[in-house]
Amino acid sequence: MTENNAFPRLVSLACHDLRTPLATAYGFARTLTMAELQEPAGRYTQMIAEATGELGDLLDTLSLAARIEAGHYEPPLDDVDLGELVEAASGRVSDAPVEADVGASSAVRVDREAVERALAGLARCAQRHGGVDRVVLGAEGTTATVSPVVAEAAPIVLGSDLRDLGAAVGLRVVDALGGEVELVGQTLEVRLPAARDGLAE
């Protein structure tokens, strides 16, 4: 194993080994949320279930980053309408005010799961680090947009200031799929590869 691949491999192994205890904690927490517990135990159990679920999502994101960095990312490509991806990505962001605003979107050829995660991460980053009331995820043609990306958040969203895992991995996903990211004013444009022959029937 080369030195360049050693650290991504270590991260991948750590993510793998952490999944079993985390899944156990999440499973029991979810089971307890269905029981009639007295307060505040019921509220605390719900918080534990939500936190372990979020940890699982973070592990998935970190594992994806490790595969990309090691050159082992082999994306399952599908033709999908970008508007659907934007709607799904906005639904992934439960801890920040992110809305979807879909225009005349077109089909793109991407790894659906990874792109949903990438768009959600970029939108969440723009909201968290920009201090704005809400962020809008849009779709027009084969370009997804995130706005507003204010000056304070721009270096973090664009990855020059590495302070947000979701945004950093999102940028790597877009690049690995052959897409491009550009900040135009306060709008982040995420241009994705067009579908080969439109949407599959």
Topology (CATH) of 78-191:
Heat Shock Protein 90 (3.30.565)
Please report the pLDDT score of residue 57 as a whole number: 84
Please tell me the pTM assigned to this model: 0.83
**pLDDT tens profile 19-57:** 889 899 989 998 998 888 889 988 899 899 888 888 888
Q: Over the range 63-83, which residues count as b (16 or more CB within 10 Å of their CB) and which as e?
A: bbbbbbbbeebebeebbbbbb
What mean pLDDT do residues 99-111 have? 90
